[in-house]
Amino acid sequence: MSTLLAILLMADGGGGGPVSLAAIDGASIENFALAPDTAVSGVRIGFDGLIYQNDNGSETQIGQWLTPATGMSGYEIRNNSGAWLNLGSNRFYNVSASGSGNSASQTFNLQIRPTGGAVVAAASFTCLAEVI
């Protein structure tokens, strides 16, 4: 079972720009699995300009981070003030848990910018994976 609560706000401050993480901003992505399976919860920011939700290994498209979806390799992303990573490749932000009664949770704080430029989109979301 998965719950995605998306707050539909322009993540770039409402400027209407072509880059947005609105599909995941404020979201709580939760996945549960029955033991002995592993629970996985998260998102993928795709090199194709799309955002995908990961439900225990099955992905569903939930939004688009770049409109139109061209020139993705001209953008970078980072989590929690970490290193900037080029968006010409898929970027995964997941948590997983295995073993009955175990869980994992993490809040991701993502930022996107044109390569070497200023931040144009940001989002914060939480992932929870739990084995019951």
Residue by residue, DSSP assigns 39-76 as EEEEEEE-TTSEEEEEETTEEEEEEESBSS---GGGEE
- Judge whether 111 and 18 are in contact, CB under 8 Å: no
Distance between CA atoms of residues 76 and 3, nearest Å? 28
What residue spans define the domains of the chain? Answer: 2-131
Per the prediction, the chain carries an average pLDDT of 86
Q: Average pLDDT, stretch 17-27?
A: 84
Give me the sign of the Cα torsion angle 130, 96, 104, 94.
negative
Comparison of pLDDT for 81 and 1, the residue scoring more: 81
Comparison of pLDDT for 14 and 75, the residue scoring more: 75
Q: Which residue has the tokens 């549960």?
A: 32
Per-residue pLDDT at 3 exceeds 70: no
Per-residue pLDDT at 17 exceeds 90: no
Range among 8-22, 56-70, 100-114 with highest mean pLDDT value: 100-114
Which pLDDT belongs to residue 7?
A: 24
Residue 92: other Cβ atoms inside 10 A: 11
The continuous run of DSSP H or E covering 9 comes out as none
Per-residue pLDDT at 115 exceeds 80: yes
Q: What pTM was computed for the model?
A: 0.82
CA dist 102 to 4, 54, 129, Å? Answer: 21, 19, 9
Per-residue pLDDT at 62 exceeds 80: yes
Can you read off the two tokens belonging to residue 111?
Answer: 């930022």
